[in-house]
Amino acid sequence: METVFVIEDDISVRESLCGLLQSVGLQVQAFAEPVDLLDHGRSEDASCMVVDIRLPGMSGLDFQATLAQAKINTPLVFMTGHGDVPMTVRAMKAGAVDFLTKPFRDQDMLDAVAAAIERNRAHRSTEKATAELRAHLGTLSRRERETMLLVTSGLMNKQVAGHLGLREGTVKLYRGQAMKKMGARSLAELVRMVEVLGLHAGGNRAEALY
């Protein structure tokens, strides 16, 4: 079940939101202010967060920045009774899914939360796929890795052979082994994998940037 964290200091609004979200089958945890959630220590457990922009202590925007610094990518939906254009722009540029002005329609909130949950699913799916690619990368030998990076940089087998001081037939062998271990069905797919991993061929030897 998807979990939504609600951060709202007004107890009546907080309880109303919890009821709304639970009515569509979502699990909800509510907090009066950001410090309560941070002390809770489970920010990454949420599928999304619904956050009031004006809160006691840490503001919603400051909370957003704190999450970003901690590399927590949980999508945020902001709400406010006193929003302004600069505040909205700042929140959206920092990655907020939506910025709703009170009083908002229940459906608008449900739509925003649904979009945030979908973004979270997509992000986690991408993270899982990247982790799997890194695991495959770890199975490559040094020569297989070097060959893969040079081939995906656009060099022909003959050019790669010249770079690495190998026979062209040996390069073809390493290339085939690399594709098999990475699970790539084509050179184009291998190129995409290398891009996802943030790798490149540098200098006279293949190097990886992390």
pLDDT bracket for residue 81 (50, 70, 90) = confident
For the segment 37-65, the average pLDDT, to the nearest whole number, is 86
Query: Which regions of the chain carry the CATH code 3.40.50.2300?
Result: 3-127
Q: Which CATH architecture has domain 138-208?
A: Orthogonal Bundle (1.10)
Greatest CA span in the chain, whole angstroms? 74
pLDDT for the residue numbered 43: 66
Specify the 3-state DSSP secondary structure of 5.
strand
Mean confidence (pLDDT) of the chain: 88
For the segment 72-100, the average pLDDT, to the nearest whole number, is 86
pLDDT for the residue numbered 95: 86
Kind plus residue range of the DSSP H or E element containing 207: strand 205-208
**Integer Cα distance of 52 and 7 in angstroms:** 6
Higher pLDDT, 99 or 83: 99
pLDDT for the residue numbered 209: 31
CA distance between the termini of the chain: 34
Higher pLDDT, 86 or 8: 8
Please report the DSSP string for 42-101 in residue order. Answer: -GGG-SEEEEESS-SSS-HHHHHHHHHHTT----EEEEESS--HHHHHHHHHTT-SEEEE
- pTM equals 0.71
Contact 128, 121 (CB under 8 A): no
CATH number at 3-127:
3.40.50.2300
Assess whether the previous peptide bond of 86 is cis (omega < 30° from 0): no
Assess whether the previous peptide bond of 34 is cis (omega < 30° from 0): no
**Integer Cα distance of 188 and 195 in angstroms:** 11
Compute and round to an integer the Cα radius of gyration of the chain: 24
**How many CB atoms within 10 Å of residue 99?**
20
pLDDT for the residue numbered 87: 79
pLDDT for the residue numbered 85: 73
Burial grade of 147 (CB within 10 A; 0-12, 13-18, 19 or more): buried
pLDDT for the residue numbered 83: 67
Would you say residue 210 has pLDDT above 60? no
pLDDT for the residue numbered 45: 74
Query: Which regions of the chain carry the CATH code 1.10.10.10?
Result: 138-208
**How many CB atoms within 10 Å of residue 66?**
14
DSSP code of 132?
Answer: H
User: Which pLDDT tens digit goes with each residue over 178-205?
Assistant: 999 999 999 999 999 999 898 876 543 3
Would you say residue 36 has pLDDT above 60? yes
Would you say residue 137 has pLDDT above 60? yes
User: Which pLDDT tens digit goes with each residue over 155-171?
Assistant: 999 999 999 999 999 99
